[in-house]
Amino acid sequence: MTPGGYFGRALVVDLGTGTAEALPLPDDVLRATIGGAGLGSWLLDRLAPAGVDPLDAAAPLAFVFSPLVGTPLTTSAKLAVVALSPLTGLPSDALASSHFAIAGKGTGHDAIVVHGRCAAPSVLVVEGDEVRLEPAGDTWGRGAADTEEELRARLGRAYRVAAIGPAGERLVRYATISTDGRHAGRGGLGAVLGAKLLKAVAVRPVTKVRPADPDGVLRAAADLRTRSLGPATAKYRELGTLANLLAFNALSTLPTRNFQASSHPQAADLAAEDLGPERRVARASCAACTIGCAHFYAASGGGKVRVEYESVFALGPLCGVTDPDAVLTASRRCDALGLDTISTGGTIAFAMECVEQGLLDEPWLRFGDAAALHRAVELTAAREGVGALLAEGSRRMAAVVGGDSIRFAAQVKGLELPGYEPRTLQAMALGLAVNARGADHNRSGAYEADFAGGHDRLHGGAAHVAAAVTSEDRAAAMDSLILCKFLRGVFQDPFPEWAALLSTVTGWEVDGDELATTARRIVVAKRRLNARFGATAADDWLPARFLDEGLTVASGREARLPAERLRAMIDAYYAARGLGADGAPTAATLAELGLPPVAV
């Protein structure tokens, strides 16, 4: 019998023929991978041909749901989009919350996978087991939110839509997939759909999820709801993630001018503490969320714009810009065009430094110049002029620009760094270096341990390694269950508490130890999959800037991350994870976790 919360099958759609078939998902696979990012890795391993290019027709892309989706558990309405990343060439998973997750699962599938390429720009419509391709029509060329609106108007309000914007159509390597105004943002999976000429996927629910213990789920949901409104989430509810910015500035962890500095003298102009009360016009929640971390500010020129720390840091201090209107306008344009704000800001900041160093002849592209920032965003989405280069991301751009520019291209595995300075957050430095999908703050939240003060954040060592491992394991569990990371502070003893939720939904008797092992398996499975697609130990490293250049924090103390220290942390991480010197899981580790050999 299929466990509660699952349908036990994925829908696999061939976009070339417009046909679909069901892929059974056996109980043991579901229990070993849970859902979301974990199940997505399994699907990618199963369905991606060896050596396939991420933008090739044969490359699959999966929308993966989870056992908790569709239950009233707060923040559970999420999905993972899993595919090979055009930016990194490696497997990537990007999460988003939305009604699309609930409706997509309501088609009676735990995942919807697409492969192949449409003959012309199209929309995939899924109702239960029925699929059809419709012409994208005049949605091609338009923004994701517009497309979503138009398709729901055309098909009916019961449909939910995930769509790409113009950046995805033009294969910008960090294009997003959007739904409900939320973005599966990192890794450029929007370009994978663009390459398939697939503008959007529209789903209509035909069935409901059945948990094993419906009353137990209701009780757990009520309890979680109460806890979700406590002090652990106050920051998200009252100010949103932008509350990070001013504090990060004071702690020298705010990346500035392409990581040339770790604080900006005008950072206060972008403080949520001041902008929130002055400009906030709305606060919203994702589907099925009681926290509501989405804060909207009035935008210059009318309308409103959603404000997130990562977008503001990347399009603000990272590019030397601190005028709030300029930064919010850039953020709004990225959302409309379907660009990942972190990689957009990261790549533009990199280009600005290339100009500063005389390596790129675009004299207008200067740090601190808001008009230049806006122009660069538009050129990127259009792939015009220098935009054709920017659209490739900083690592590929460095290969073209040459000189020693790769040393200050702030990326790992090709993915641009998020807003956490590695030299002053050295557990996070390790997390950024080793994470399977590249420099990322959602798959490794090791910065949390740096900010908690249990270790010296400027001096990476054994405690930092342990923090990075724990953080990845927790993230893997949350990304597979799926629960929003902003809920994490309400759990005092996460694995047993999460296991209890999973047991109530599925009917399995999962305990904290089993779930912790599952989390570890998911992390190791990603490393295994990375190895299958060519990742080596050389990919687990930070750009030279972080290892050669020091920073001084406000106390006067020097923050340095010598290469030997990073090497020692990575070696200790490999040992803790059961990886060999090549960065791939050893045969013994794979066997222990029930995973197949790297080459299958």
Partner 1 sequence: MGSPKALLPWHGSTLLRRVVGLVGRVVDGPVVVVRAPDQVLPALPADVEVAEDPVEGRGPLAGLHAGLTALDGRAEAVYLSAVDVPLLHPAFVRRVLGALDGDDGQGPADAVLPEAHGHRHPLAAAYRTAVAARVAALLEQDRLRPAYLLDQLDVRRLDEAALLHDPALRTADPTLASLRNLNGREDYERAHAEPEPAVSVARFGTLRPVGVRAPVEVLASSVARAAAAVGLELDRHVVAAVDGDRISGDPDVPLAGGETVSFLSAEAGG
Binding site for partner 1 (CB under 8 A): 231-236, 238-241, 243-244, 246-247, 250-252, 268, 272-274, 277, 293, 308-310, 420, 441, 445, 447-448, 450-453, 455-459, 486, 489, 553-557
Indicate whether 291 belongs to the interface with ligand SF4 (CB under 6 A): yes
Candidate list 97, 107, 480, 518; residue touching ligand SF4; CB under 6 A = 97
In the region spanning residues 425 to 484, those forming contacts with ligand SF4, defined by CB under 6 A, are: 484
Give min distance, CB of 574 to ligand SF4, in A: 32
Nearest Cα residue to 525 out of 76, 111, 34: 34
Closer to partner 1 by Cβ: residue 458 or 535:
458
C-beta closer to ligand SF4: residue 230 or 402: 230
Count of beta carbons in the 10 Å neighbourhood of residue 534? 11
Nearer to ligand SF4, 229 or 261 (CB): 229
Residues 292-311 that bind ligand SF4 (CB under 6 A): 292-294
Residue 259 to residues 46, 273, 546, 579, Cα–Cα distance (Å) = 39, 24, 8, 30
Residue 277: contacted member of partner 1, ligand SF4, none (CB under 5 to 8 Å, by partner type) = partner 1
8 A C-beta contact, residue 376 and residue 365: yes
Residues 392-431 that bind ligand SF4 (CB under 6 A): none
Q: How far is the CB of 101 from ligand SF4 (least distance, A)?
A: 11
**Least Å distance between CB 182 and ligand SF4?**
7
Give how far Cα 456 sits from Cα of 181, 461, 557, 587, Å: 39, 9, 12, 35
- 75 part of the interface to ligand SF4, by CB under 6 A: yes
Distance CA 78, CA 547 (A): 37
Which of 236, 367 has the CB closer to ligand SF4?
Answer: 236
User: Which among ligand SF4, partner 1, none contacts residue 484 (Cβ within 5 to 8 A by kind)?
Assistant: ligand SF4
What distance in Å separates the CA atoms of residue 377 and residue 331, rounded to the nearest whole number? 9
Per CB under 6 A, the list member of 62, 286, 312, 430 interacting with ligand SF4 is 286
Q: Which is nearer to partner 1, 13 or 272 (CB)?
A: 272
Of the candidates 155, 113, 135, the one whose C-alpha atom is nearest the C-alpha of residue 21 is 113
- As a whole number of angstroms, the distance between CA 157 and CA 405 comes to 49
CB of 249 to partner 1, least distance (A): 9
Strand intervals (E) in 435-528: none
Partner interacting with residue 353 (select from ligand SF4, partner 1, none; CB below 5-8 Å by kind): none
Q: How far is the CB of 2 from partner 1 (least distance, A)?
A: 36
Q: Which two tokens stand for residue 132?
A: 């059809």
Upstream peptide bond of 482 is cis (omega within 30 degrees of 0): yes
Q: How far is the CB of 203 from partner 1 (least distance, A)?
A: 29
Of 385 and 461, which CB lies nearer to partner 1 in the complex structure? Answer: 461
Tell whether residue 289 is a contact of ligand SF4 (CB under 6 A). Answer: yes
Total residues in contact with ligand SF4, by rule CB under 6 A: 12
Looking at the Cβ atoms of 484 and 522, the one nearer to ligand SF4 is: 484
Work out the angle at residue 149's Cα, subtended by the Cα atoms of residues 7 and 484, and round it to the nearest 5 degrees.
50
- Count of C-beta atoms within a 10 Å radius of residue 140: 18
Q: What is the DSSP string of 505-566?
A: HH-----HHHHHHHHHHHHHHHHHHHHHTT--GGGS---HHHHH--EE-TTS-EE---HHHH
Q: Which residues bind ligand SF4 (CB under 6 A)?
A: 75, 97, 236, 285-286, 289, 291-294, 484, 486
